[in-house]
A and B are shown apart, each in its own frame.
Chain A
Amino acid sequence: MGESSEDIDQMFSTLLGEMDLLTQSLGVDTLPPPEPKPPRAEFNYSVGFKDLNESLNALEDQDLDALMADLVADISEAEQRTIQAQKESSQNQHHSASLQASNFSSAAPLGYGTNAAAIGISQYKEDLPPPPADPVLDLPLPPPPPDPLSQEEKEAQAKADKIKLALEKLKEAKVKKLVIKVHMNDNSTKSLMVDERQLARDVLDNLFEKTHCDCNVNWCLYEIYPELQIERFFEDHENVVEVLSDWTRDTENKVLFLEKEEKYAVFKNPQNFYLDNRGKKESKETSEKMNAKNKESLLEESFCGTSVIVPELEGALYLKEDGKKSWKRRYFLLRASGIYYVPKGKTKTSRDLACFIQFENVNIYYGTQHKMKYKAPTDYCFVLKHPQIQKESQYIKYLCCDDARTLNQWVTGIRIAKYGKTLYDNYQRAMAKAGLASRWTNVGTVSAAAPAQPAQSTGPKTGTSQPNGQMPQAAHSVSAVLQEAQTRAETWKDKKPALGNHHQPGTPRAPQAPKSSLPPPPPVRRSSDSSGSPATTPKAKGTAGGGFLSPPIDFLPPPPPPPPMDDPELPPPPPDFMEPPPDFVPPPPPSCAGTAGSELPPPPPPPPVLDPDSARPPPAVAKRPPMPPKRHENPAPPGGAGGGEQDFMSDLMKALQKKRGNVS
């Protein structure tokens, strides 16, 4: 669950930027433990989407939970963001507003109980929902003068107005979203929401964060058509929603998340594709010996010139005749402009070639077990078809190679011809991603990451109260790491108080926080967490009544140190608060006092202060309520230190990315 929430968070952040609507009242209620939802009136998700509901219904309970958690987390994050933005303009208002506003009436619980057959994708258009989170960004804010305490209501009002405005804007820009179910290689599935602007690369990044995999370049989204027995990987630049919208409603097609070496094999061993003289073993041997430098120059030569060089590829392939199960052997040649064949009695000179197919309107797929299904001569088949075609048709072209090597050469060659330099750009991005990931891991950034996360997670709202919530989490995460993080956080605080935390916490932490919380084995914890961390839960509930926002997120993240830490460690929470601080930053002292209730966040800078601040605690409490729910949903990482670390890593990365975005 935590993982999924992470993804969603990310999605949200992007979405927010673009004013998407988030919809949902997913059944926060649905969650087993009736958790109080973090209520933000404005953020409330009005579940409006019919389709969404359908799709949700189709999901399994777990999925639903995860999804919900994600959504909640997203919202909270969105809030945070908005808050930050507002802070910049004005400070406290937002928090208070949001808190008050939160009426989160969670929509009626969805009947998630119904586990329909798992549908790969459910589509819903954005019409649905209300655009809770996004608005925030857009509206940075007009908040009036900051009068923290007394004016909270006013602020709330202002915020509400803004939100309305945002909602309207959102309505204008409808963004289509899908909830997709991704099958992992361990047979489990993950549900995540994809909006129509996301590319396969973005979705992969989401999945990386959720799964803590090694992020290597071989990971890909993979679509499978069980009916046609064909499959292919998404190219990183492909728009996921676009591809999936070609699927029929009752489709059995699936999306997988797995490693495929073929994806970028051409960039790892270009000589196998560019220097392979058909059938000549000597060349094969020499090519395998190629050193890195030569590979690089070969790649540069092939992909960095004025035009991309398509590997020279030609040879006899079997072609399935239209509508029959017979296969005819023909001599095919690959050119940048398409696949050609040598007509009977002609030579293979350019002038005699007949065009077999051009790539503009077709995608390439691997055929699986076509030997059985279509009586193909071998099982090394590839298929070309228009992406919209979903059933057997004469417009699907089936080709069959003699061996796996040839198959890969053809498929790769066709991809190069079709996508050109984009493919190379994709690869470089993937490499950068993988490189970054590995570097982080190596560095042992864990400590740094950890602190950051907590800060964000706690968000402005959670404030002091968080510690409790965090404690449990801390237990989960590696204690050492946590401690480090805490110490760091403390140091940060010291520094920041003056600054106004935004910088550190804001950027990096904010994004991370959600993530960190997510990664951990949320589900497990749910049950345990909810029950386990009584202190938090109660508070949460109480707050729930109040209708708090989504502070929950905050709670989770803070991988608070072990219980003992709590007392002394209040500081750590501050990190969580980090974000809030930003708001306060400008008027640090005043805000603390004034806003205390709503604005707990500000205090973060001076951790010590927090404790003293009575005002804060209350707010924190209020906020807390929401958090508990999240915990339940996303049971924080139960303890897996390792898992926690990974999360941190990914979080860190996210944070960095976000930071960049924020800064800019």
Chain B
Amino acid sequence: MSLNNQLESEYSGSLKTELTLGLPGGAQAPKSAVKRGFSDTVDLNLYTNSEDEVNVATHTQPPPAKGQVVGWPPVRSYMKKKMMTVNCKYVKVAVDGAPYLRKLDLQIYTSYKELLVAFQNMFTCLTICNVIANESKIVDISNGTEYLPAYEDKDGDWMLVGDVPWNMFVESCKRLRLIKSCEKLKLMKSSASLETSSSTSC
């Protein structure tokens, strides 16, 4: 029996997978009017595995839809690491309670305000609440959890975002973390690198 006959007998009718010419992974879903809770955001297949592939550039102006496809363009992992450090400053962004990391290019932003908007765009369940003039908080409106943006600087110390001039911040920031407000004290005590905190809710 020829291979093609065999093939047909394996299939009763055509079981062809649906052909999509669209980009696998898809472009970023448009922000909906209804904001999802954080756990819903986690379930979204936002681009690929959580690790180094993810790159979301968010601007205060609506960005061109950047479809991020796994392993494309075919730049070797090693070359990619080289590229990442060229003309951009990518830092990992962690959020307390979330199982995956995101990445941001700090050089795209020119102020803390833009950075906060980036967080809002990246984690669509979070909103900026301007509580006092100088202090903006980030809140998950589905459950009221407050987050404070913190960063690890060149010396390995964890600092609150907003204390130093923007350029100095970009220069020294190694990675970002949105910590739950109630965890703040714990964080400030230990300037050693932070383990992913357990999901104790506050």
Q: Does B associate with A?
A: no
